[in-house]
Amino acid sequence: MTNVIKLTLSLLIVFGLTVGTGYSLDINGTTGKITGKVIDSKDKAPLIGATIKVDGTNLGAISDDNGDYTILNVDVGVYKVTASYIGYDPQSISDVKVSADLTTQVNFSLKVTGSGIVTDEIEIVGKRNAISPDQSGKIIGQEFIDNSGLRGIENIASTTAGVVQDERGNDINVRGGRTNETAVIIDGVLTTNPLDGTSTSFVSNSVLEELSVLTGGFSAEYGNVLSGVINVTTKGGTDKYSGSFEVITDEFLSNNVSQGYNVYNMSLGGPLIPSKKLSRFINFYAGFERDWSLVNNPSWISDQLELSNNVLPNYRLGRWSGNAKLNFDLQEVNKDLPVQLKFGTSHAYTDRLGWIQSYMLFNSSRNPLIEEDSYQYYGKINHQVNSKMFYEVQFNYFDAKYEEGDPEFRDDFYSYADPNKVTGLPPGNNAIGFDEYNLFAKYNRVRNYYENSNTSYWSTNLNLTTQVKKNEIKFGGEYKYHTIRYIDVRPNGLYQVRNDSYEQQLAAFNGGIGLANYFGYGPTNKDGLVGVTEVDDGVDGAKHPIIAALYLQDKVEFKDFTLNAGIRWDYLDANSWRVKDLANIAGPDGVLGPEDFLDDSDPTSSFSPRLGLSFPVTNNTVFHAQYGKFTQLPQLEYLYNGRENLEYWVNSAGFSGSFGNPNLEPEKTTSYEIGVKQQIGDRMSMDLTAYYKETEDLIGIKKYPQLPNQIQVYENQDYGTIRGLDLAIDLRRTNRLALNIALGIAFASGTGSDPNSASTAAWLGERQPKLTSPLDFDQRYTGVLNADYRFGKVGSDLPKGFWGDVLSQFGVNLLYSFNSGRPYSLKSNAVDPFASTGSGATLLSPINGVYGPWDNRLDLKIDKTFSFWKVDLNAYFYIINLFDSELVNDVWASSGLPGSTGYLNSEAGKNTILSFNNPSGAVPTTSEEYVRRYNLRSMDIGNYGPPRQYRLGLRLNF
């Protein structure tokens, strides 16, 4: 233990020195490298001292004694690489594709000048190593993004083997991991909100250059993530202008088909100064997108809900997003200054209305308004020290805001239950009730909830890379300082409280009814309880957690063997007060007070070694294997709680929610995988990978049944095992056809599917899970097939005459996906799930022992490009869910069906039906109307995927 402490302190000192000089970890790679050999075409002898240059850049290398060369620090993109040697004809290879963190091989065979053979430019794709030993996943390029109809980073990434997405297009799970175990990184900036694990950024397809989807074995430079990484590279500026403009809509058909979907985006890039001398010195690329949908997320069941035009009411989405990059290449003005300055920003603002099924008939105008606003900024210095070494110093700033509340009152808390402002609210009541059948909210019922959070951080990063013979060595570190503010309020009781008493702070109200939980925000006084103010001091001031990391890795690449070894260290200081003893939270006197708290939480750290290797078995077969330990720091929302709120619930209330724990440890995964990649001919490859993962210390809920009241706290207590098989088959375009197939078999089991899985058991006083069972996202069999068939622009690919003009640049894209359904726990249908006792239904199967139905979906996109002048106009027609298949996202546990609870078929349900047969009562009711409304309430839109939708698009590229 002493040695561990000494080692940790040593690393902290090293880290402090690196931060003090401005260096720390860039958490992901944003560049790749080009390697190869230069030989004499006749005798195959290596050419020593040949010059290799990447055209359009200042990058290059000189071949060594073996004719080998390495070019580091190459931005993601497509290049032409040229080799030259005195006495030999120069040779160029175009369409060389470079991807983040990967090595692209480009070999040259030069001919002696005057040999009588003229060396033309060779137009082939630069050949990358058959497998990256330390990473499993998929590189998704611009061609796939443009040809498919998919939009959004997660949707595109879901075509990768091992990545599973729910039918609503929301959450993704990578190789059986939880939904919060995937990191989304855009141009080197982590866009995952550390508070709740959601990705805050939206990037328009028009600015996407490449997605690198990593599903396992990612190297030590990738940290604080357990299951998957989506590394996004956006387009950068060049010395030539380019851009696009795109319009997409579904408002060209009848109202009962359109969902009010509209997208507009544009992008532009090129030299900032239109000068031949300065065009490569400073350039930019920027993109902007505006999304507007009358229906945020259409549901297959919407045409059966008796809605006007089959459109879900008051469920809109509005979004503005933008991305921009600005690059300075100082070597263009000073050859002795190989430095690039890179600046970038992204911004996404979303204004949407949430959905509450019980508000659908009479009260959808009160669906909650949700606003999300996020910014990311970065500045990067890239210094090429020499041809074998470079480093990047990066500074980042991240800010994400979230607000949810009533669409009319927002943060005007007193108005939520003010009868002078809420029409129909009886005096003395806190809220308008439900209809006579207790199924749907009456008109103007105000939802009793408001939430506001603001998470920001600044960070400094370094990535140092050096090539020492065959070793590519990387070292780096990271430092992040956060500021977190949060408040949630149940405002309905505040109006009565104000009328009964006067206090300056909302915290005093907690002494009576516990209406708010907050830190970093404080409400204003009674005379103006509108909005919140920032609070930095005191026990409920803003939280400032600190995250740091160091890593070291060595990638050794021989001709027939590649090895990647690394180690990473992650550190978290929650930097907050904590309870002395959770098992006896109220202390000896039975009352939680200041004496029961400590000022500082305990910092935590972890080490994670990684090892990956690959070697050829035959000329066309490569074996690869990986072992790694991965850690992920807890989502920050599980660390904190308002102290006033905690004291109230412990001392004077019953059960309430779950409380944060600043002493949470990192979650851990140990992963093993082996696989074989087979090259089939020149244009097809197959990659088969088997994996096994053990998870431990995942966050779950632990109940403390103590006096005066039981509480439940987040603890590191969940664990599980995941095993599976991924198969990826890729066919490069052959006879007009390109094909990608991703298949997965996985078995994911554990004690909890998310941190709140055991909350219901704690509430009901049931025994919490100790044995593993299938997880909620345990989809055993999944698959995606993408077939793209298209004609070229000119040449023998086209028939002659009229049909040649028609078929020129015409394409058809089919995307077929399937899955075997998700598990659920079958329960008795004798208890109404909409009643207050609905959670007490008898369990009829093992936990998650029954599986939902299979889903099958086919999307179709047809497009044609018209070229004129230097412009390409692409017109396309896109159909989502071509056959209008019923896509089941979830089912009612009491029936196994997505649109019926089964309760009305039970004896209890039949008696309830009869009890409403009272048409002449004081409040008239009928059995028929009860059944009608009950069925409408049961058809939950969240249980279904999308219906068939038609979209028309135009994209102009120049």
The model's pLDDT over 819-872, given as tens digits with 9 standing for 90+, comes to: 999 999 999 999 999 986 555 688 899 999 999 999 999 999 999 999 988 899
User: What is the pLDDT, as a whole number, of residue 927?
Assistant: 96
DSSP string covering 199-246: B-----GGGEEEEEEEEE---TTS-S-SSEEEEEEE----SS-EEEEE
- What's the rounded Cα separation, in Å, for the pair 93 and 102? 18
| pLDDT surpasses 60 at 121 | no
| pLDDT surpasses 90 at 731 | yes
Mean pLDDT rounded to a whole number for the chain: 87
Cβ-based neighbour number of residue 447 at 10 Å = 22
More confident residue, 780 or 590: 780
Please report which helix (H) or strand (E) contains residue 645, including its range: helix 643-652
pLDDT per residue as tens digits for the range 377-389 = 999 999 999 989 9
User: What is the pLDDT, as a whole number, of residue 412?
Assistant: 87
Answer whether 781's CB lies under 8 Å from 742's CB.
no
The arithmetic mean of pLDDT across residues 49-63, rounded, is: 91
- What's the rounded Cα separation, in Å, for the pair 163 and 216? 11
User: What is the pLDDT, as a whole number, of residue 377?
Assistant: 94
User: What is the pLDDT, as a whole number, of residue 201?
Assistant: 76
CATH architecture of the domain covering 2-128: Sandwich (2.60)
Least confident among 112-116, 230-234, 387-391 = 112-116
Residue 617 main-chain phi, psi, to 5 deg: -95, -40
| pLDDT surpasses 90 at 368 | yes
pLDDT band at 599 (very low <50, low <70, confident <90, very high): confident
Percent of the chain at pLDDT > 70 equals 89
CB proximity list for 190: less than 8 A, separation 6 or greater? 27, 28, 183, 184, 398
- What's the rounded Cα separation, in Å, for the pair 474 and 466? 7
- What's the rounded Cα separation, in Å, for the pair 65 and 44? 14
Percent of the chain at pLDDT > 90 equals 62
Least confident among 272-286, 522-536, 540-554, 770-784 = 522-536
Least confident among 140-154, 408-422, 684-698, 940-954 = 408-422
Q: Which amino acid is at 547?
A: I
Answer whether 523's CB lies under 8 Å from 461's CB.
no
| pLDDT surpasses 90 at 396 | yes
Looking at the chain, which residues constitute the CATH 2.60.40.1120 domain(s)? 2-128
pLDDT band at 662 (very low <50, low <70, confident <90, very high): very high
pLDDT band at 441 (very low <50, low <70, confident <90, very high): very high
CATH 2.40.170.20 for the 242-880 domain, yes or no: yes
CB proximity list for 499: less than 8 A, separation 6 or greater? none
- As a whole number of Å, the end-to-end CA separation of the chain is 63
pLDDT band at 1 (very low <50, low <70, confident <90, very high): very low
Looking at the chain, which residues constitute the CATH 2.40.170.20 domain(s)? 242-880
The arithmetic mean of pLDDT across residues 908-925, rounded, is: 92
User: What is the pLDDT, as a whole number, of residue 682?
Assistant: 84
User: What is the pLDDT, as a whole number, of residue 17?
Assistant: 33
The arithmetic mean of pLDDT across residues 243-257, rounded, is: 88
- What's the rounded Cα separation, in Å, for the pair 943 and 955? 34
Say which DSSP state 464 is in. E
Per residue, the 3-state secondary structure of 875-908, as one string, reads EEEEEECCCCCCCECCCCCCCCCCCCCCHHHCHH
- What's the rounded Cα separation, in Å, for the pair 61 and 48? 12
Could you give the angle at the alpha carbon of 285 between the alpha carbons of 190 and 149, nearest 5°? 75
| pLDDT surpasses 60 at 500 | no
Widest distance between CA atoms in the chain: 107
pLDDT per residue as tens digits for the range 167-185 = 988 889 999 999 999 999 9
User: Which tokens sit at 648?
Assistant: 């109230």
Question: Strands, DSSP E only, in 529-683?
Answer: 532-534, 546-557, 562-573, 578-579, 597-598, 604-618, 621-632, 667-680
User: What is the pLDDT, as a whole number, of residue 99?
Assistant: 86
User: What is the pLDDT, as a whole number, of residue 309?
Assistant: 84
| pLDDT surpasses 70 at 436 | yes
Q: Which amino acid is at 266?
A: M
